[in-house]
Structures are given as structure tokens and as C-alpha cells.
């Protein structure tokens, strides 16, 4: 249409009749106001009607100023100097002159048609255009502007286009360096595409798209005319997606959740649409939820501790302990993803909206009729489902398990761990020993299926039987000796030797050695045997009583140094103890005595019942000192006796007559002897630890008697 109008306008212009120069003067009138062309100076050169007094019509018809306009261009422009050199025309006069001009209807119609044929176009707008021509590389498009635009043929892609088709293009520039209109089809499509994205985002519209490929963290979906959007893996479905490749090529509905106009990034979600639908179902289900309901659900997720069940918009947890009455190692043994199950609601927490589900509760408990299936003493077969340090659990059927304690696995084998006899998954035969119906526990045994070797053991090994066994284990309190396969007896540490003071059994025997023992006692009920090693030989302590009697001296060798004394070995192999107080160096004796030293010792205590010998290093010296003190005491007593005898003799003679000078001198000598004897006795008593009271009393007796003698003499002197 624009081309036809342009052709019609061109035809009309060519057919127009020649008219006076009036139309030519009217056309440039709009430009005269701007004074940017030579014609703008025309009114200044013309005379106004007021100045000339001529009619207005004659002034408008004068063509002379127009003809002289080119000649004025050659004049030098001197600028306005404030002087008026020509006629002055007022603005009011020009407006009146313009209004008074005759208006040509045909000319006005032509101008109107020309203006309507052109549209107002701005840069950065999207406009519609009509294809004029299609070339191999370019497409010419008319958008109603004064010039046509050229668009590259590649921007249309594989689309079929032909002249006359209308398309939308983006106005990049109105004129380039060559004056050409610059258009773009791709930019127009991009703008329109992003407008659709914003409209769908802000109005929360549901759009459709196709998943084209998989990327890290999610998928790429094509939504609007090749526009790609990112679909995170967590936004594909409300359930975790296991196989992403299954969604490639699938057409789905999306909701735009995030946009970035700067780089035209779009994030979409399919899960948001599903959650909106599920929210309604969730509210409806929760309003009717109560414990005891049986619902159908789908396995949504499987974990180590249980299964999450989708009840139709609401998820519930089916714990691993509620899957089956039997033992379940992992929920995947019983259920699979996507499997439909009937479950019962065990508990519903409205505040936290947590639902606990159960599956085994829909089946009868296997313990309800346990008496009909199992009785004590029955031999049954089961599977080992668990092994602990104290035993193995055997499953008799789903929901019924029994424990085989480690002590019930074998009569004779020394089992340190149940794994030495059984393994997980092994089928074993067991005997039911006890059924606890209240606690729902069953005690099982494996060794009861074999003969008990302890029965009749006391008959086979009566007390006093001498055996030779193998040392199997050594402890702090004794030695375990195996007398036959699987049957051990204990030799207590006190029954290892008659003569040695043993601190640990390893001083006498080693594991794996052969050892002669005597059966002391057999307890079949508690399965215990007491053995003795020293009892193989006769008790030597009866002979030691004569050899190591108290007071006898012997040489001994130090074999061990203890905190409170020394342990020594005597010639017959018996050990004795020397307390620290019986050593010459009692303080810090560990520094003076060493293992292997020989000492001269004396027996100070012997007990055959306690099998104990106590010896002393200082007892011999102490006895010699005591003997010496005793001898000195005996001599002093003899001297006292002689002195007492002399005093008595003197007293006897003093009675018969008066005292002579010779007697008086002899009395002085006797007194001096008595005082010397008394002084020696006091010194002797101070040296010894024992202070003999009797000798002191006896020593005072002569003094008492001599004390009477002077009194007698004095009395006699007085008489004289």
C-alpha cells in the first residue's frame, strides 16, 4: 500500500497545473520562522503594507525578493551592529499576512497524504514491516519510513519467506554512515521472547517446555522459541530422581521461579506445580489422619533406618523395626522404590506433622501361639542371624529367635568367641533349653546334642589319682592343666611346691609343658576339678623340723629381695624368710644385700603347719652378748655373797666384845669395798637394756646393815 501511495503521489505531482509562484512561496513558510535558510530573510527585504500603503494582496504576490535571494548569498555577512538599514517587519504583521494568504485545498491534501504515508519510527523499537524483496543474502523490508531497511537472510533461519509477508523487526539505527535504515530480526525475536518470560514470571503462569539435555546439577529445558532454561535436579519431582536420562526429550509443564535480565538466565521448576497440587491433598489427608488407619502408600525413599512412604502428598516414616516381626538388616531386603504398600498409622504428631507407620502390625505376632509350635527339649533347626561376644542368635522363624550362649556351644572346646563355632547365615541344629513367654526369650543349646564328658568323671578320676597333663593356661592364682581333651583342672599356686615361696606360677611352669598332678577333688555338677602338683611328693616339713630346729645355725643364699626382708634358700631347697629387723644392716638393707650373697643365719622360728621358717642374722651375736652379761651377773652375785658373809662374820664378832683399833680399821676397808661394788653394779645395770632390780636391792642390803653399824658404835661410844 505504501508503494502504491508513493506512486499515486508521484503521478499527482506530475499532473498538477502550473500556478503562480504562490505555492512555492507557501511551502517554505514553516522554515521561514527558524531563519536557517536564505528564504527566511525574504520578509525582511519586502516592504510591509503599513510602510508602502499598498494592499496586502499585492505584497503577497510580489516575486522579486525570491529572485534576488541568490544574489544576497554572495554578500559578506558583517553581523548586526545595532543600526537599522532596511525596512522593519513586525511579527504581528507576518502572522496577519500568513493568515490572509489563500489556502490551496489540493496542496493541503497532498501534504496530508505524504505525511500519512510515513510513520514515526524511533531507535530501539520493534515495528512491523513488509518484505519487498528476498535475495540470497539480504531481505529488503519496508517499515513505512522514508527509506527501506535491509536484514540479513541468515536471521530468518530456515523459515520460508516471500515478498508481501509481514514481520517484526528491531530498529537498531535510523541511519548509518551511508544513510541506510538498520534493522534486525533476531533482536526483535529476543525482545519478544524475554517479554513472554517476564509476563509468565510476574503473573505466575504455567508454561510448557522440552528437556533437551542433562548438565551438572540438573537439566536444560527449551521453553520459548529456542530459549533455554535451567531445571535443577531437585526441582524435577517431589521424589528424588534416580534416572535423569529418562527425562531427556520429555515435554513438561514448568513454572518460572527466577530470572536474570542482565544475562537472560531463566530457572524453572516442575516440582513447584506438583507441590501446589499436593498441598491440597495433604491438607485433606491430615484433617482425617488418626492412629489405627490403614492407608495405601508408595515407597518414596529407602534409608538405613527405615522407609519413607508417600501417602498422597504426605510422607510417613516406616521404621526398620516395624517392617517385619523378624530381623531385618536393611529395608531394601523387603521393599523397593515405587512399591505400593498398605500400612497402618501408629502415631501422628500434629504439631510437628510427623507420621509413624507400621507394616508388621497388619500381621499376627508369631509369639501368640508359641506353645503350639515349640516346647522345652525340642531339637529344631534355625539360621544364625547375629553373633555377639557372649553368644549367637538363631532365628527359628520370622519373629522368633533364641540365644545360644557361648557356654552352651561345646562341652570340651575352649571357645573364646562364638565365631569359632558358627557363622552368619549358617543353619544349625539346637535344643530348646528354656522358653520365657513374658520376656519373649528362648534359651538354646548346641552342646546338649552331644554326650556330656563330665558324667562319670569322678569314677574315672577318683581323688588321689596321679596324672600327667599339659599346662594349657597360667593365671595369677594357679595353673590349668588339661587331663583329657576339653577337661581342665586347676592347680592352685599354693599346691605347686612344698618348699618355695612362689609369687607367680610362671616361676615354676610354662604353658605347653607336661606336669605331674594328683586329683584332689572332682565336682561334676559345677564341672570343676582341683589338682595338686606338690602332692605328688611326700611332705618334707616333717624332716625339716629336726634339721632346721629353732636356734640352729645355717648358711643360706639370698634368692629374692622383698620390701620387708630377704628370701633365702637353705641347703635342702627350702626357702626361709629373714625380716629386715633381723639383719645387721636393717636400714636401707636393699643397698647392702644382693641376690646370691651367702649369709650366716640362725633359725628363730619354725612352723611345720604353716610351712614357715624365720631366720636372723643378729640372733647369734645377741645370744653371745646375753651369755656374757649372764656370766658377769653371776660373778657379781658371788662377790656379793662373799661380802655378805664377811659382814655377818664381823657382826658376830662385834657382839662378843668392845671394838679394837684394828677392828675399826678393818671396818673402814670393808665399807670402801662395799661402796666400790655398789658403784660397779650401777654402771653394769646402765649398760644393759634390762635393769635388774633384785641385784640393786641386794646391793642396798649391805649398806643398810652397815648403816646400823655406825649407829651401834656411836651408841657404844656414847656409853663409853
> How far apart, in whole angstroms, are the C-alpha atoms of residue 720 and residue 717?
5
> How far apart, in whole angstroms, are the C-alpha atoms of residue 126 and residue 140?
16
pLDDT digits (tens, 9 = 90+) for 610-628: 778 888 888 888 888 888 8
Residue 655: C-alpha distances to residues 181, 659, 671, 718 (Å): 183, 9, 19, 17
pLDDT digits (tens, 9 = 90+) for 78-95: 555 666 677 777 878 777
Please indicate, yes or no, whether residues 358 and 370 belong to a single structural domain of this protein: no
Confidence of residue 319 (pLDDT cuts 50, 70, 90): very high
> How far apart, in whole angstroms, are the C-alpha atoms of residue 503 and residue 494?
10
Query: What is the predicted pLDDT for the residue at 384?
Result: 92
Please indicate, yes or no, whether residues 109 and 31 belong to a single structural domain of this protein: yes
Query: What is the predicted pLDDT for the residue at 267?
Result: 93
Query: What is the predicted pLDDT for the residue at 391?
Result: 92
Q: Is the pLDDT of residue 9 over 80?
A: no
**End residue of a domain, out of 536, 557, 591:** 536
Residue 391 lies in a domain: no
Q: Which of 87-101, 272-286, 352-366, 697-711 has the highest mean pLDDT?
A: 352-366
> How far apart, in whole angstroms, are the C-alpha atoms of residue 178 and residue 149?
12
Please indicate, yes or no, whether residues 356 and 427 belong to a single structural domain of this protein: no
Q: Is the pLDDT of residue 667 over 70?
A: no
Residue 313 lies in a domain: yes
Query: What is the predicted pLDDT for the residue at 714?
Result: 37
> How far apart, in whole angstroms, are the C-alpha atoms of residue 166 and residue 161?
9
pLDDT digits (tens, 9 = 90+) for 478-498: 999 888 877 888 999 888 887
Rounded to two decimals, the pTM is 0.38
Please indicate, yes or no, whether residues 20 and 110 belong to a single structural domain of this protein: yes
Residue 188: C-alpha distances to residues 142, 143, 164 (Å): 15, 14, 19
pLDDT digits (tens, 9 = 90+) for 110-168: 766 666 655 667 777 888 888 888 888 888 887 877 777 888 888 887 778 888 888 88
**End residue of a domain, out of 587, 617, 647:** 617
Q: Is the pLDDT of residue 338 over 90?
A: no
Please indicate, yes or no, whether residues 94 and 35 belong to a single structural domain of this protein: yes
Residue 640 lies in a domain: no
Q: Which domain holds residue 149?
A: 126-190
Residue 40 lies in a domain: yes
Please indicate, yes or no, whether residues 377 and 437 belong to a single structural domain of this protein: yes
Confidence of residue 350 (pLDDT cuts 50, 70, 90): confident
pLDDT digits (tens, 9 = 90+) for 502-514: 888 888 889 888 8
Query: What is the predicted pLDDT for the residue at 467?
Result: 85
pLDDT digits (tens, 9 = 90+) for 510-528: 988 888 888 888 888 788 8
Query: What is the predicted pLDDT for the residue at 107?
Result: 67
Three-state DSSP at 346 gives strand
Residue 332 sits in a domain whose CATH number is: 2.40.50.140
Q: Are 271 and 283 in contact (CB under 8 A)?
A: no
Please indicate, yes or no, whether residues 515 and 466 belong to a single structural domain of this protein: yes
Averaged pLDDT for residues 252-278: 87
Please indicate, yes or no, whether residues 518 and 554 belong to a single structural domain of this protein: no
pLDDT digits (tens, 9 = 90+) for 160-191: 888 888 888 888 877 777 777 888 888 888 88
Averaged pLDDT for residues 34-60: 36
Query: What is the predicted pLDDT for the residue at 52?
Result: 37
Please indicate, yes or no, whether residues 169 and 251 belong to a single structural domain of this protein: no
Please indicate, yes or no, whether residues 358 and 410 belong to a single structural domain of this protein: no
- Tally of domains in the chain: 7
Please indicate, yes or no, whether residues 21 and 59 belong to a single structural domain of this protein: yes
Question: What residue has cell string 597360667?
Answer: 474
Residue 153: C-alpha distances to residues 138, 189, 224, 384 (Å): 5, 15, 22, 79
Q: Is the pLDDT of residue 709 over 50?
A: no
Query: DSSP characters for 403-431?
Result: EEEGGGS-SS---SSGGGT--TT-EEEEE
**End residue of a domain, out of 562, 597, 617:** 617
Residue 163 lies in a domain: yes
Residue 486 lies in a domain: yes
Please indicate, yes or no, whether residues 113 and 37 belong to a single structural domain of this protein: yes
Strands 340-349 vs 306-310: parallel, antiparallel or unpaired: unpaired
Amino acid at each position: 500500500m505504501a508503494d502504491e501511495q508513493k506512486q499515486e503521489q508521484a503521478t499527482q505531482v506530475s499532473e498538477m497545473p502550473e500556478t503562480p509562484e504562490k505555492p512555492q512561496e507557501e511551502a517554505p513558510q514553516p522554515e521561514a520562522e527558524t531563519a536557517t535558510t536564505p528564504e527566511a530573510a525574504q520578509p525582511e527585504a519586502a516592504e510591509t503594507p503599513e510602510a508602502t500603503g499598498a494592499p496586502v494582496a499585492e505584497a503577497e504576490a510580489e516575486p522579486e525578493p525570491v529572485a534576488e535571494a541568490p544574489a544576497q548569498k554572495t554578500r559578506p555577512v558583517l553581523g548586526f551592529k545595532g543600526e537599522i538599514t532596511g525596512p522593519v517587519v513586525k511579527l504581528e504583521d507576518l502572522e496577519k499576512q500568513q493568515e490572509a494568504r489563500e489556502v490551496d485545498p489540493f496542496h493541503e491534501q497532498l501534504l496530508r497524504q505524504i505525511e500519512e504515508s510515513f510513520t514515526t519510527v524511533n531507535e530501539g523499537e520493534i515495528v512491523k514491516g513488509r518484505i519487498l524483496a528476498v535475495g540470497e543474502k539480504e531481505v529488503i523490508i519496508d517499515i513505512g519510513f522514508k527509506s527501506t531497511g535491509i536484514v540479513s537472510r541468515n536471521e530468518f533461519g530456515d523459515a520460508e519467506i516471500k515478498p508481501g509477508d509481514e514481520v517484526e523487526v528491531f530498529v537498531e539505527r535510523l541511519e548509518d554512515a551511508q544513510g541506510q535504515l538498520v534493522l534486525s530480526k533476531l533482536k526483535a525475536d529476543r525482545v519478544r521472547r524475554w517479554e513472554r518470560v517476564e509476563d509468565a514470571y510476574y503473573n505466575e503462569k504455567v508454561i510448557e517446555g522440552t528437556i533437551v539435555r542433562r548438565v551438572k546439577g540438573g537439566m536444560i529445558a527449551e521453553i520459548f522459541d529456542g530459549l533455554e532454561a535451567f531445571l535443577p535436579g531437585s526441582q524435577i519431582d517431589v521424589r528424588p530422581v534416580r534416572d535423569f536420562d529418562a527425562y531427556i526429550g520429555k515435554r513438561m509443564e514448568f513454572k518460572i521461579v527466577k530470572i536474570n535480565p542482565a544475562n537472560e538466565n531463566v530457572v524453572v521448576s516442575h516440582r513447584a506445580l506438583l507441590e501446589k497440587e499436593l498441598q491440597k491433598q495433604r491438607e485433606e489427608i491430615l484433617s482425617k489422619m488418626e492412629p489405627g488407619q490403614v492407608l495405601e502408600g508408595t515407597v518414596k525413599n529407602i534409608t538405613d533406618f527405615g522407609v519413607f512412604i508417600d501417602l498422597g502428598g504426605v510422607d510417613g516414616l516406616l521404621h526398620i523395626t516395624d517392617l517385619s516381626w523378624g530381623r531385618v538388616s536393611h529395608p531394601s531386603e523387603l521393599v523397593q522404590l515405587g512399591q505400593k504398600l498398605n500400612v497402618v498409622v501408629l502415631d501422628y504428631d500434629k504439631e510437628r506433622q510427623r507420621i509413624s507407620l507400621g507394616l508388621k502390625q497388619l500381621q499376627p505376632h508369631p509369639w501368640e501361639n508359641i506353645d503350639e509350635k515349640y516346647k522345652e527339649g525340642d531339637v529344631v533347626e534355625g539360621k544364625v542371624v547375629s553373633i555377639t561376644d557372649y553368644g549367637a542368635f538363631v532365628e527359628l522363624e520370622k519373629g522368633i529367635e533364641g540365644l545360644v550362649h557361648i557356654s552352651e556351644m561345646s562341652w570340651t572346646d575352649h571357645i573364646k568367641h562364638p565365631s569359632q563355632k558358627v557363622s552368619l547365615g549358617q543353619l544349625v541344629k539346637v535344643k530348646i533349653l528354656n522358653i520365657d513367654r513374658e520376656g519373649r526369650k528362648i534359651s538354646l543349646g548346641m552342646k546338649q546334642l552331644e554326650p556330656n564328658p563330665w558324667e562319670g568323671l569322678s569314677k574315672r578320676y577318683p581323688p588321689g589319682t596321679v596324672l600327667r597333663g599339659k599346662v594349657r593356661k597360667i593365671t595369677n592364682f594357679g595353673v590349668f592343666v588339661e587331663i583329657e581333651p576339653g577337661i581342665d583342672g586347676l592347680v592352685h599356686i599354693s599346691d605347686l611346691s612344698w618348699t618355695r615361696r612362689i609369687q607367680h606360677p610362671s616361676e615354676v611352669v610354662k604353658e605347653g609343658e607336661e606336669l605331674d598332678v594328683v586329683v584332689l577333688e572332682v565336682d561334676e555338677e559345677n564341672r570343676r576339678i582341683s589338682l595338686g602338683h606338690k602332692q605328688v611328693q611326700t611332705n618334707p616339713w616333717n624332716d625339716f623340723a629336726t634339721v632346721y630346729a629353732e636356734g640352729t645355725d645355717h648358711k643360706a643364699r639370698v634368692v629374692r629381695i622383698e620390701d620387708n626382708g630377704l628370701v633365702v634358700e637353705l641347703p635342702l631347697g627350702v626357702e626361709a624368710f629373714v625380716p629386715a629387723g633381723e639383719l645387721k644392716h636393717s636400714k636401707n638393707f636393699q643397698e647392702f644385700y644382693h641376690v646370691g650373697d651367702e649369709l650366716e643365719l640362725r633359725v628363730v622360728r619354725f612352723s611345720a603347719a604353716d610351712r614357715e621358717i624365720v631366720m636372723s642374722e643378729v640372733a647369734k651375736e645377741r645370744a653371745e652378748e646375753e651369755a656374757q652379761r649372764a656370766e658377769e651377773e653371776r660373778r657379781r652375785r658371788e662377790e656379793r655373797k662373799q661380802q655378805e658373809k664377811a659382814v655377818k662374820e664381823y657382826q658376830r664378832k662385834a657382839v662378843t666384845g668392845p671394838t679394837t683399833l684394828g677392828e675399826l680399821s678393818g671396818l673402814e676397808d670393808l665399807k670402801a669395798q662395799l661402796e666400790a661394788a655398789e658403784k660397779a653394779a650401777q654402771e653394769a645395770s646402765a649398760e644393759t637394756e634390762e635393769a635388774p632390780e633384785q641385784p640393786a636391792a641386794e646391793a642396798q642390803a649391805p649398806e643398810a646393815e652397815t648403816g646400823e653399824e655406825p649407829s651401834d658404835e656411836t651408841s657404844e661410844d656414847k656409853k663409853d
